[in-house]
Amino acid sequence: MRNLLFFLVAILMAGCAASNTSKANNINADTDFNHKAIQILKPKCEAGNLSACNDLAISYQNLQNHQAAFKIYDKNCKMGYQKSCTNLANIYMYGDQIGLQKDIKKGIEIHKNSCMNNGADSCYYLGEFYRLGRDAKEPDYQSAFDAYSRGCTMGDIASCTNTGGLYELGLGVKKDEYRALQIYKSSCYSGDTSACDNVKRIRGY
């Protein structure tokens, strides 16, 4: 699972069949969890543990303190912690949804730099941006393929699966169903169930 920010609080609102009391209990439990996490993570972050800093920022985001999270991600990214760079870029790209400034250009710039510096998560999100043609842009399958491929070489399984999809459909790269199948099989063995489904579909069972 990606250790990223993206809007974990929304998960708490899922499940229409749950009672209001159950929802409230879940929210209270999550709030309590994040407050306790902050107490544990903050000293570790202050001691220079960049992983703890990133997790601290995620807890702040879960508590809707996005400004505090932004500052931590920004500092962590400048120190070369790529997961924080990815989270920082995503805040820039979708900041208007959480009361912060949106800056697509800045977000893409950070994702590109992170992707080129072994930030596999940024490669994935960069690929998604280009493939889906977000922000009223046309899809750029060549750029999506390049981003996914780079993420795949760094071991990001979702990037590998999407690379296979582009091979299968001939988008951004010459169509090659055999190569797509091999990539899907590798992703399937690594635990990506959607890739397993693609293997079955291509094989016809």
Secondary structure element (H or E) that encloses residue 85, with its range = helix 82-94
Q: Where in the chain is the domain with CATH 1.25.40.10?
A: 25-117, 133-205
**DSSP at 7:** T
Confidence (pLDDT) at 22: 55
Q: What are phi and psi for residue 113, nearest 5 degrees?
A: -65, -40
Q: Is the pLDDT of residue 137 over 70?
A: yes
pLDDT tens digits for range 37-92: 999 999 999 999 999 999 999 999 999 999 999 999 999 999 999 999 999 999 99
Confidence (pLDDT) at 92: 95
* CA-wise closest residue to 62 among 17, 32, 25, 42: 32
Confidence (pLDDT) at 136: 64
Distance of alpha carbon 150 from alpha carbon 180, whole angstroms: 16
Confidence (pLDDT) at 28: 86
Q: Is the pLDDT of residue 19 over 70?
A: no
Distance of alpha carbon 183 from alpha carbon 100, whole angstroms: 38
- According to CATH, the topology of domain 25-117 is 1.25.40
The verdict on domain 133-205 having CATH code 3.30.70.120 is no
